[in-house]
């Protein structure tokens, strides 16, 4: 090792992040350091990057897992200690302190719903604590020089491309949080460890970073010229708005008001959770898969064959990972991660108008009001300046069939076949023509959408 490189990645979490540290009762808590600051553990960052590197090297046909072990290290073999010692990681990743601005943690309540009965599954109600939208941090990574598998410059380029493309950190990413993006230029400093002055600078600047989070003045901006788009991903950005005369309700709280969240800068936003989009799209894509003759695990036939005692907890966490089910492979299950990430959709609360409504349940036998079932909610209407929801979707290693199903599902939302949110509002959204698609099979996505919809810019 003749050189040590330090990289500083300033990132922001537009929808927030939930670096979990266990649960208290049914609340998933946030990781904190010894003085109570919210943190993203270095081990969590290393795990995400290692997974991306392993998938990338396998996709490119490179040696695997040798390349990943070379840079990220490996554990010792307990059964043959003398023959296989652990290999240290050449990447040293520090714990990142999260800046949540003027807002504290955000609590959102979720539930697992049985798609076949429409009721909440047993023990399916839980609360997630997360850092607010706009949370930011600087991730510092130290690279110990290496000559194999592309060398130091190769691993630096991989890190730069990975952060530039966007990577999900923390837990509960299926809820719509955790997406990161670069918020400024990446800073880079190389130390030559055979030079006395560089060694002294390395020790002094390392201490300055650890004590005061000060980026070395000698660090230079890492050029973007060599950063290429990650070729095995598809990025889609779709803008939807409430159709004329329509409304929407993603309820929260006892008074069933439209979900809202306060970002790190103190501003309020309407919020459609990524889990809401995920549930709607998964349900519709399951129908499309079944129509096309694919093997679908989450089918009524599968549900009907389950023993009665298991139906309340469907899907069964231990038996729902089936490689021949395309829906499980894409969206994942409670026992396996998926390949699709759907971010929360946030709109400034100044757009749109709230409308208070009263409801009553009717007794179907007598035709009168059911006793004790008078209730209220507040829906979001278009108003004079209708809210526009920007929906972001990322798929890793998408297939042509998955891309076509996704395009058809978005068209189902646009034409009003698929509604979003509570049944106490119409949930009718339409695409307003601003659509972006980049990456693998982007052309297929455009072609499928253009068959039934003429966008302004696809």
- Contact assessment for residue 261 and residue 134, using Cβ atoms and an 8 Å cutoff: no
Distance of alpha carbon 352 from alpha carbon 384, whole angstroms: 7
Phi, psi for 353 (deg, rounded to 5): -135, 145
3-state secondary structure 236-297: EEEEEEECCCCEECCEECCCCEECEEECCCCCEEEEECHHHHHHHHHHHHHHHHHHCCCCCC
355-364 pLDDT tens trace: 888 888 888 8
Q: Is 447 exposed, middle or buried (0-12, 13-18, 19+ CB in 10 A)?
A: middle
Q: Which helix (H) or strand (E) holds 390?
A: strand 388-396
User: At 103, is the secondary structure helix, strand, or coil?
Assistant: coil
Question: Looking at the predicted structure, is the pLDDT value of residue 457 above 50?
Answer: no
- pLDDT for position 122: 72
Peptide bond into 324 cis (omega under 30): no
- Neighbouring residues of 135: CB distance < 8 A, sequence distance ≥ 6: 12, 13, 16, 17, 38, 98, 99, 100, 101, 264
DSSP H or E segment with residue 206: helix 196-212
Q: Could you tell me which residues come within 8 angstroms of residue 276 by beta carbon, excluding any fewer than 6 positions away?
A: 176, 250, 420, 421
| 83 pLDDT more than 80 | no
Q: What is the pLDDT of residues 208-239, one digit of tens each?
A: 998 888 888 888 888 764 555 566 889 999 99
Of 343, 442, 457, nearest in space to 391 by CA: 343
For residues 316-320, give the mean pLDDT: 46
170-213 tens-digit pLDDT: 887 888 888 999 998 999 999 998 999 999 999 999 999 988 88
Query: Span 417-429, mean pLDDT?
Result: 86
Q: Are 29 and 23 in contact (CB under 8 A)?
A: yes
Contact present, 281 and 341 (Cβ < 8 Å): no
Q: Give the Cβ contact number of residue 269 at 10 Å.
A: 22
Cα-Cα-Cα-Cα dihedral of 15, 18, 24, 25, to 10°?
Answer: 50
The residue among 145, 133, 71, 195 whose CA lies nearest residue 345 is 133
Average pLDDT over residues 267-277: 90
d(CA 354, CA 443): 39
175 or 154, higher pLDDT: 154
> If pLDDT is split at 50, 70 and 90, which confidence band does 456 have?
low
Q: Are residues 384 and 351 in contact, defined by beta-carbon separation less than 8 angstroms?
A: no
Work out whether the CA dihedral 412, 415, 421, 426 comes out positive or negative. Answer: negative
Over residues 409-424, the mean pLDDT reads 89
E runs forming strands in 114-166? 120-130, 135-144
The pLDDT value given to residue 373: 79
Mean pLDDT of 52-75: 74
| pLDDT higher than 90, residue 451 | no
Q: How distant, in Å, are the alpha carbons of 69, 100, 166, 213 from that of 162?
A: 18, 24, 6, 23
- The model's pTM is 0.84
Work out the mean pLDDT of the chain and round it to a whole number. 83
Tens digit of pLDDT for each residue in 344-394?
A: 999 888 777 888 888 888 888 888 887 777 878 888 888 776 788 899 999
Q: Which backbone phi and psi does 95 adopt, to 5 degrees?
A: -65, 135
Return the number of other C-beta atoms located less than 10 Å from residue 347's C-beta.
Answer: 19
């Amino acid at each position: 090792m003749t050189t040590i490189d330090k990289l500083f990645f300033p990132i922001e979490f537009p929808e927030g992040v939930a670096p979990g540290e266990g649960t208290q009762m049914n609340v998933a808590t946030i990781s904190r350091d010894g003085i109570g600051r919210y943190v993203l553990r270095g081990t969590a960052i290393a795990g995400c990057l290692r997974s991306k590197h392993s998938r990338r090297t396998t996709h490119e046909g490179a040696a695997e897992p040798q390349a990943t072990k070379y840079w990220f290290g490996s554990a010792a073999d307990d059964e043959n200690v003398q023959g296989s010692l652990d290999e240290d990681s050449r990447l040293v990743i520090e714990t990142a302190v999260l800046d949540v601005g003027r807002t504290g943690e955000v609590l959102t309540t979720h539930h697992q719903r049985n798609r076949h009965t429409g009721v909440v599954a047993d023990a399916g109600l839980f609360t997630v604590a997360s850092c607010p939208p706009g949370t930011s941090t600087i991730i510092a990574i130290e690279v110990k020089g290496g000559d194999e598998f592309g060398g130091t410059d190769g691993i630096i380029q991989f890190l730069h491309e990975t952060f530039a493309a966007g990577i999900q950190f923390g837990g509960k990413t299926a809820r719509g949080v955790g997406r990161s993006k670069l918020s400024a230029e990446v800073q880079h400093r190389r130390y030559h460890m055979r030079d006395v002055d560089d060694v002294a600078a390395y020790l002094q600047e390392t201490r300055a970073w650890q004590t005061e989070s000060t980026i070395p003045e000698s660090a230079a901006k890492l050029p973007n010229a060599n950063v290429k788009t990650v070729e095995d991903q598809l990025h889609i950005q779709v803008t939807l708005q409430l159709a004329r005369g329509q409304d929407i309700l993603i309820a929260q709280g006892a008074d069933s008001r439209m979900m809202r969240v306060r970002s790190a800068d103190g501003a309020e936003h309407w919020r459609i959770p990524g889990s809401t989009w995920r549930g709607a799209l998964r349900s519709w894509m399951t129908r499309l898969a079944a129509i096309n003759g694919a093997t679908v695990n989450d089918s009524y036939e599968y549900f009907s064959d389950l023993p009665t005692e298991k139906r309340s907890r469907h899907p069964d966490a231990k038996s729902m990972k089936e490689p021949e089910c395309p829906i499980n492979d894409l969206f994942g299950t409670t026992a396996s991660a998926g390949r699709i990430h759907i971010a929360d959709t946030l709109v400034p609360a100044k757009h749109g108008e709230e409308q208070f409504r009263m409801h009553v349940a009717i007794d179907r036998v007598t035709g009168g009001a059911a006793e004790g079932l008078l209730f209220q909610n507040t829906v979001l209407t278009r108003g004079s300046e209708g809210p526009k929801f920007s929906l972001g979707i990322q798929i890793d290693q998408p297939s042509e069939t998955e891309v076509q199903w996704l395009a058809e599902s978005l068209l189902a939302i646009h034409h009003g076949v698929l509604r979003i949110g509570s049944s106490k509002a119409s949930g009718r959204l339409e695409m307003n023509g601003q659509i972006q698609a980049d990456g693998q099979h982007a052309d297929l996505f455009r072609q499928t959408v253009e068959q039934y919809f003429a966008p302004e810019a696809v």
